[in-house]
Chains A and B, each alone.
Chain A
Amino acid sequence: MLKVLLKKQFTEVFKSYFYDAKKNKMRSKGAIIGWFFFFAVIMVGMLGGIFTSLSMSMCGGLTQAGMDWLYFLLQGGIALFLGVFGSVFNTYSGLYLSKDNDLLLSMPIPVRLIMIARLLNVYLMGAMYSAVVLIPALIVYWGTAGATVRNVLCGLLLLLIVTVGVLILSCLLGWVVAKISLKLKNKSYFTVILSLAFFGGYYFVYFKANELIQHLLQNAEMYGEKIKGTAYALYLFGRIGEGSLPCAALFFAVTAILFVLTWLVLSRSFLRIATASVGAGKKRYAEKRVRAKSPYRALLGKEFKRLTSSANYMLNCGLGVLLIPASGVLLLAKGRLFCDVIGQALDGRPDCAPVLICAALCMLSSMNDMAAPSVSLEGRNLWIVQSLPVDPKTALRAKASVQLILTCLPMLFAAVCGAVILPASAAVKALVCVMPLTFAAFFAVFGTVIGVRMPLLNWTNEIVPIKQSGAVMLAMFGGWAFCVVFAGLYLLVGYRFGAAAYLLVWSVLYLAAGGILLRRLDREGSRTFAQLS
């Protein structure tokens, strides 16, 4: 029974390697081999290579100083962090939100077997990320310090302890998320905030890690003594890799106890969480007075609701909403320094700072590309707008307007911040405010035009149109290309005309292009939209 469940589980995990969601058909044998090869290159070649070189840079110095345990403590910490980060997002959905909950629970399958199959899945996901760190670390250590039966055995035990530790932490985090999620009304906002916090933490650690490790290596003895004095358990943990059998036995026992406790917690709540109706936040309906809206405003409201109801949509297509005002604050704080650095670096080219600030703001505004997948996201709901007395033009303009509003408002703030800090003429300051707005307007219409020209309506998971559709790719890379061309042309020739003239020309160009595209959207776009099926 467990074998059957595991087979199903892994077919599901590696579904995208066998099945093309965009084309809705199975991949060819060549494509399947290609995808697995790509996966192996990424995991073993790239990630494995990175961590092998990290291990080589750390291992020699620490083993010579007799601090092998610190080497394993650091590597174990990194493996734990990467494993938890790699699997935590899948744990909640993988454990509790599987689409086959009802199907499996209706069959004569013991609940514990369903749990075991899903836990094994979580374990392997986490182990994959941890192993990418620990296996090179162990091999490098055995190569440097010499491999004995004892340290090989303890190294393997360390791998087991860390990977089970990752499983325990992932399960507990998944369980907490499940508990919170059951009580939350606005799950999408919660997911967005949690994801941003996690990504923020990840990048903070990622950028600081090298510096921290270098600092630690340079002061290894001092930190070693401190750890031994204040966190003796960490010292013992590090000694497992050295080949200390008592330490390995101790941590193995602790991990086993923690795992049993985790199992007990999960098994007590598994059925209740897995069978809770997702999104069934019962709300007693009370009639309220409402104001009638125009069809356009009704459609606009619908588009906003569509965006804010999906964490995937917000995270992948709306990050600019946060990043644009954040860049405004950054400009206020560090803008003058940026202008000075740019002025010195590009001495021969005057007024580069205003143009580069505009380019950066445009680049950030291209991170708001919610208009591009908007038509595709209608999916099976397309019949509603098509059967209602709504001009397709109005429906498409509502889609473009969401992006326009959500980009132009923060952009105005950021552009004004840019204008404030710039040591430039009034005309340049005014154009720094105007030019990114014209780009944002153009880009909103551009996204809608390609969205309606490249629709992807037969999806089963919304992530396909949001992340993998041609329209989104084109919008994103197109946006970046526009910005690169804009900045590059100035550095090549534009500086000869001065920033004011250059920004004015681009503002007019974007306005004109936006106008032409809007006309195209109203005519051909509307016709195409009406004929979609």
Chain B
Amino acid sequence: MLNIEHLTKRYGDKKAVDDLSLHIRPGEIFGFIGHNGAGKTTTLKSAVGILQFDEGSISVCGVSVKDDPLTCKRSLAYIPDNPDLYDFMSGIKYLHFVADVFGIRASERAEKIRKYADLFEMTGSLGDPISAYSHGMKQKLSVIAAWLHDPKLIVMDEPFVGLDPKASHLLKEMMREHCDKGGAIFFSTHVLEVAEKLCDKVAIIKQGKLVKVGTMEEVRGDDSLEEVFLELEAK
């Protein structure tokens, strides 16, 4: 579903991501772990076509992000770490904007908006301006917008930050359900307990380099993910 091969991204002289390769298959929830500034967001942004990278290749469903970014973007959804949405729109206007861009039919979008807004208890607030939303509400709106067009791949940067426990639980269920239907999820997190319980595979990145990748069992062994992570960080 998502193939990252030898990705390198530089900011000036500094290598933010250095020769990173990852493969995310359909049905997988793939966790991406690393300290602040390790290169997680740069990798995620490169994968969804927001950032141009210097070396390597990235493909979504077999299509190169560099050569045909629009086709790639049609099959994925991205939720950033900080949901900076259009403050000048209401929640519902934003959802319709995203639906228009993805070409979702009016009847189909109405049904999905109803379903997900009810799930996240956002229906009553959809008419309010986004500027009046809390961080958590913006995050919920981002999640609803991401699920609107049935993407094959969902890329999320710290998706649980700001969400209340109920919404977090709901999002985890939606992630599992999405992957059970054959989709894939690639997300970064600092909450190692969540990654441990939720992810099928996990990758640990340190100073732009991949230091460990594999199934949860392979990475963790007999230890907890936290112990493995702290041990790798100490090296």
Task: Show the binding face of A for B, using Cβ within 8 Å.
Answer: 277-287, 289-295, 297-299, 301-302, 305-306, 309-310, 379-381, 383-384, 386-391, 530-531, 533
Contact A386 B49 (CB under 8 A): yes
Residues on the B chain within 8 Å of A391, using CB: 70
Contact B101 A383 (CB under 8 A): no
How far does the Cβ of B133 sit from chain A's closest Cβ, in whole Å? 9
Contact B52 A531 (CB under 8 A): yes
* Chain B, Cβ-Cβ closest to A185: B129
Q: Confirm or deny: B37 has a beta carbon within 8 angstroms of a beta carbon on chain A.
A: no
Contact A305 B93 (CB under 8 A): yes
Q: How far is the CA of A291 from the CA of B106 in the complex (A)?
A: 6
How far does the Cβ of A102 sit from chain B's closest Cβ, in whole Å? 13
Contact A277 B132 (CB under 8 A): yes
Q: What's the dominant secondary structure at chain B's contact region? A: helix
Q: How far is the CA of A381 from the CA of B131 in the complex (A)?
A: 13
Q: How far is the CA of A287 from the CA of B109 in the complex (A)?
A: 12
* Chain A, Cβ-Cβ closest to B93: A305
Contact B105 A381 (CB under 8 A): no
* Chain B, Cβ-Cβ closest to A284: B127
Q: Confirm or deny: B89 has a beta carbon within 8 angstroms of a beta carbon on chain A.
A: yes
Residues on the A chain within 8 Å of B210, using CB: none
Residues on the A chain within 8 Å of B88, using CB: 305-306, 309-310
Residues on the B chain within 8 Å of A295, using CB: 100-101, 103
Known: A280-B132, A291-B106, A387-B48. A285 touches B69 (CB 8 A): no
Known: A292-B105, A387-B50. A279 touches B131 (CB 8 A): yes
Known: A290-B110, A306-B88. A285 touches B73 (CB 8 A): no
Q: Confirm or deny: B85 has a beta carbon within 8 angstroms of a beta carbon on chain A.
A: yes
A-B contact pairs, 21 of them (CB 8 A): A279-B129, A279-B132, A280-B132, A281-B128, A281-B132, A285-B91, A287-B110, A287-B114, A290-B96, A292-B100, A292-B105, A298-B100, A305-B93, A306-B88, A381-B84, A383-B45, A383-B80, A386-B49, A387-B48, A388-B98, A388-B102
Contact partner of A384 among B51, B85, B123, B131, CB < 8 A? Answer: B85
Contact partner of B124 among A285, A293, A380, A389, CB < 8 A? Answer: A285
How far does the Cβ of A395 sit from chain B's closest Cβ, in whole Å? 10
Known: A279-B132, A280-B128, A297-B100. A387 touches B89 (CB 8 A): no
Q: Confirm or deny: B78 has a beta carbon within 8 angstroms of a beta carbon on chain A.
A: yes
Q: How far is the CA of A203 from the CA of B215 in the complex (A)?
A: 72
For chain B, the bracket of interface size reads 35 or more
Q: Confirm or deny: B99 has a beta carbon within 8 angstroms of a beta carbon on chain A.
A: yes
Q: How far is the CA of A118 from the CA of B123 in the complex (A)?
A: 39
Residues on the B chain within 8 Å of A310, using CB: 88
How far does the Cβ of B232 sit from chain A's closest Cβ, in whole Å? 29
Contact partner of B78 among A279, A289, A302, A383, CB < 8 A? Answer: A383
How far does the Cβ of A189 sit from chain B's closest Cβ, in whole Å? 13
Q: How far is the CA of A280 from the CA of B85 in the complex (A)?
A: 16
Q: How far is the CA of A297 from the CA of B101 in the complex (A)?
A: 9
Within 8 A of A (CB), among B113-147: 114, 123-129, 131-132
Residues on the A chain within 8 Å of B38, using CB: none
Residues on the B chain within 8 Å of A387, using CB: 48-50, 73, 78
Residues on the A chain within 8 Å of B86, using CB: 302, 305-306, 381, 384
Contact partner of B99 among A285, A292, A305, A533, CB < 8 A? Answer: A292
Within 8 A of A (CB), among B72-86: 73-74, 78, 80, 82, 84-86
Known: A386-B49, A388-B73. A281 touches B129 (CB 8 A): yes
Contact B84 A380 (CB under 8 A): yes
How far does the Cβ of A343 sit from chain B's closest Cβ, in whole Å? 49
Q: How far is the CA of A488 from the CA of B86 in the complex (A)?
A: 44
Known: A306-B88, A383-B80. A533 touches B50 (CB 8 A): yes
Contact B106 A289 (CB under 8 A): yes
Residues on the A chain within 8 Å of B69, using CB: 530
Residues on the B chain within 8 Å of A379, using CB: 84
Q: How far is the CA of A4 from the CA of B50 in the complex (A)?
A: 44
Residues on the A chain within 8 Å of B85, using CB: 381, 384
Residues on the B chain within 8 Å of A283, using CB: 90, 127-128
Q: Scoring B residues 41 to 75 as 1 if CB is less than 8 Å from chain A, else 0, what string do you get?
A: 00001001111100000000000000001110110
Q: How far is the CA of A289 from the CA of B150 in the complex (A)?
A: 21
Extra inter-chain contacts (18) besides given A293-B100, A379-B84, A390-B70, CB under 8 Å: A279-B129, A284-B127, A289-B106, A290-B96, A290-B110, A292-B99, A292-B109, A295-B101, A297-B100, A298-B96, A305-B89, A310-B88, A381-B85, A383-B80, A388-B102, A389-B102, A390-B73, A533-B45
Q: How far is the CA of A306 from the CA of B97 in the complex (A)?
A: 13
Residues on the B chain within 8 Å of A530, using CB: 52, 69
Q: How far is the CA of A533 from the CA of B124 in the complex (A)?
A: 34
* Chain A, Cβ-Cβ closest to B91: A285
Residues on the A chain within 8 Å of B89, using CB: 302, 305
Residues on the A chain within 8 Å of B96, using CB: 290, 298
Contact A386 B128 (CB under 8 A): no
Q: How far is the CA of A384 from the CA of B52 in the complex (A)?
A: 16
Known: A305-B89, A531-B52. A388 touches B132 (CB 8 A): no
Q: How far is the CA of A49 from the CA of B85 in the complex (A)?
A: 49
Known: A302-B97, A381-B85, A388-B98. A290 touches B106 (CB 8 A): yes
